[in-house]
Amino acid sequence: MRRRFSGGVELTDRQFSAQPWVYGTLILGRGVLFIKDGPLAGNPRPYGELYRPTLKAVAHGTISFSGIEPVGKVWAAQVWQCETYNTGTPPGASKKPDGTLDGPGPDTA
């Protein structure tokens, strides 16, 4: 997953592409979308929460959701772009302990 906005401001294409990919399981529950790495029960949600998510686009192995995300004490517009894979780490990348990817991203595979 990569975020398209930072603090409610849209990132440039270069800034967006420079972000590390966050890897995990996409979960929707009670109007909140989040990404979870590891066992689903009993652990905190490590990668942020997208409230009031709506499906924005599905194409070429990606799925995008728009919604609002808490940023400090304010709510900001956000779009999550997610690559879709069955299991495991995307081709050409290795997973670091914090859940981000190291090496070429899935868009280069």
With a cut of 60, say whether residue 109 has pLDDT above it.
no
Q: Where are the domains of the chain?
A: 2-89
**DSSP characters for 26-62?**
EEEETTEEEEE-S-SSSS--TT-EEEEEEEEEEETTE
Each residue of 22-62: pLDDT tens digit? 877 788 888 899 887 765 665 555 577 899 999 999 988 88
Label residue 101 by pLDDT band (50, 70, 90). low
Q: H or E element: which one contains 13?
A: helix 13-18
Backbone angle region of 102, left / alpha / beta, with phi > 0 → left and psi within -120 to 50 → alpha: beta
89 versus 105: the higher-pLDDT residue is 89
Each residue of 67-82: pLDDT tens digit? 999 888 999 999 999 8
Backbone angle region of 52, left / alpha / beta, with phi > 0 → left and psi within -120 to 50 → alpha: left
pLDDT for res 46 = 58
pLDDT for res 41 = 61
Q: Which residues contact 97 (CB under 8 A, 6 or more apart)?
A: none
